[in-house]
Amino acid sequence: MSATFDPNIVREHFPGLKRQIDGKTAVFLDGPGGTQTPLKVIEAMSAYLRQNNSNIGGAFVTSKNTGWTAYIARLAMADLFNARLPEEIVFGQNMTSLTMAMSRALGRTWKESDEIIVTHLDHDANITPWTLVAAERGVTVKWLEFDSQDCTLRVDDLQNLLSERTKLVAVTYASNAVGSIVDVAKVCEMAHQAGALVFVDAVHYAPHGIIDVQALDCDFLVSSAYKFFGPHTGVMFGKYDLLDSLDAYKVRPAPDKPPGKWETGTPSYESLAGVQAAVEYLEDIGRQFGGLASSGSDTREARRYRLLGALQVIKQHEESIGAYFLHKAVTVPGLRVFGITDIERLGERTPTFAISLEGHTPRDVAKFLGDRGIFVWDGHYYAVAVMDRLGLLDQGGLVRIGFVHYNTLEEVDRLIDALGNLTTN
């Protein structure tokens, strides 16, 4: 039997959540910008630095142990993404750097008659790397729009943009601004029928849902470990044949086979120890709360099963948080929630809510909340195209409230009470 998921149990793993502001426990609703880190991750990074700090390739124990640290981190991410091979996992400084590098590699295969497709729902890190290279190569850029009413991507319109000249579709898995989830599997199917590759930004989606690159059949998928309770490190999945055949911009005598050919310079090995521990943390949730996913086997299949169990219970908890927030939000005068607000459609969004409050700028709202120990983001959060399409880019953007699995209903109440107080002052 599995235990009923309780956020108060998992909160005990996060030292940062104990921070006090004016005698009250802080409320961390800034997860879309970076989640808090469990003790397991902190200890793994510290242990690496204490015991094995080195570089790889040496004929001595700390170097060999560092190589093992990198390998088990790669294997852990392969299981989280359901990649076939650990060699399909590439680490980098962050998602943006990895995307920039891949855009240059893919761009050198394009010619002037070619086309690419980007979306107005994406974070700029999955737009500008592609448009920059397209401009250099004389490639046409087409844009896929989103519905301004519920902020969902118009995936069906993709068919009208695709042609035999399309080389790439760059698409988000979930909007970091308004939370909308995209039917990436459908995008991949449509793009592949036209002969195009698909590059998926899963940075925002990763802490909220199950990623299966084989089921999606995407060609590339990127994320950032600090968005799913790990350190500041970027992660990219790429189909092995593509990683192997494409030319990477790299120094001599760097490896000529993936994944090493794509990992420019020396990585942060202590961060890779943290990445492995972050996946292990999620696996622990599967053991404790995931029912049948609590198998003790150490095979890749068993770990994947535990991760599925973890993300299923996380999703259920986050949907209950989202429903509670939407129910309470209507009680705050002048508060508007952008994106999907239908309780029956919560499965189509993450628990990330962009809001405005009539008569108050986003920065004023964020500061008011921050002064009371409630941490939220304001601005455009690099979702420049989203804010531009909503006509809010020059007005300070929106306030972003992001719930993750360690947030509670009581924290929603504190948030709503504070917003209510702001409207009456």
Residues 63 and 156 in one domain: yes
Phi and psi dihedrals of 251, rounded to 5?
-90, 165
Q: What is the pLDDT of residues 388-414, one digit of tens each?
A: 999 999 999 999 999 999 999 999 999
Q: What is the pLDDT of residues 126-156, one digit of tens each?
A: 999 999 999 999 999 999 999 999 999 999 9
Q: What is the pLDDT of residues 162-194, one digit of tens each?
A: 999 999 999 999 999 999 999 999 999 999 999
Residues 192 and 338 in one domain: no
Question: Is 290 within a domain?
Answer: no
Q: What is the pLDDT of residues 46-77, one digit of tens each?
A: 999 999 999 999 999 999 999 999 999 999 99
Assign residue 361 the CATH number of its domain. 3.90.1150.10
d(CA 323, CA 325): 5
Question: Is 296 within a domain?
Answer: no
For position 424, what pLDDT does the model report?
87
Q: For the chain, give the secondary structure using H, E and C.
A: CCCCCCHHHHHCCCHHHHCEECCEECEECEHHHCCCCCHHHHHHHHHHHHHCCCCCCCCCHHHHHHHHHHHHHHHHHHHHHCCCCHHHEEEECCHHHHHHHHHHHHHCCCCCCCEEEEECCCCHHHCHHHHHHHHHHCCEEEEECECCCCCCECHHHHHHHCCCCEEEEEEECECCCCCEECCHHHHHHHHHHCCCEEEEECCCCCCCCCCCHHHHCCCEEEEEHHHCCCCCCEEEEECHHHHHHCCCCCCCCCCCCCCHHHCCCCCCHHHHHHHHHHHHHHHHHHHHHCHHHHCCCCCHHHHHHHHHHHHHHHHHHHHHHHHHHHHHHCCCCCEEEECCCCHHHHHHECCEEEEEECCECHHHHHHHHHHCCEECEEECCCCHHHHHHCCCHHHCCEEEEECCCCCCHHHHHHHHHHHHHHHHC
Residue ranges making up the domain that contains 48? 43-277
- The pLDDT of 70-89, averaged and rounded, is 98
Assign residue 214 the CATH number of its domain. 3.40.640.10
Residues 16 and 163 in one domain: no
Residues 31 and 124 in one domain: no
Question: Is 302 within a domain?
Answer: no
Percent of the chain with pLDDT over 90: 94
Two structure tokens written together for 375: 């941490």
Question: Is 299 within a domain?
Answer: no
Q: What angle (nearest 5°) sits at the alpha carbon of residue 403, between those of residues 151 and 235?
A: 80
Average pLDDT, the chain: 96
Residues 22 and 106 in one domain: no
Residues 231 and 180 in one domain: yes
Residues 214 and 255 in one domain: yes
This model's pTM is above 0.85:
yes
Count how many domains the chain has: 2
Residues 273 and 384 in one domain: no
Residues 254 and 315 in one domain: no
Question: Is 305 within a domain?
Answer: no
Residues 333 and 413 in one domain: yes
Asked, as a colleague might, if the bond just before 32 is cis with ω within 30 of 0, I would say no
Question: Is 401 within a domain?
Answer: yes
Question: Is 270 within a domain?
Answer: yes
Residues 34 and 49 in one domain: no
Residues 50 and 26 in one domain: no
Question: Is 284 within a domain?
Answer: no
Decide if 117 contacts 158 (C-beta within 8 A). yes
Which residues pair with residue 377 across a beta bridge?
Answer: 400
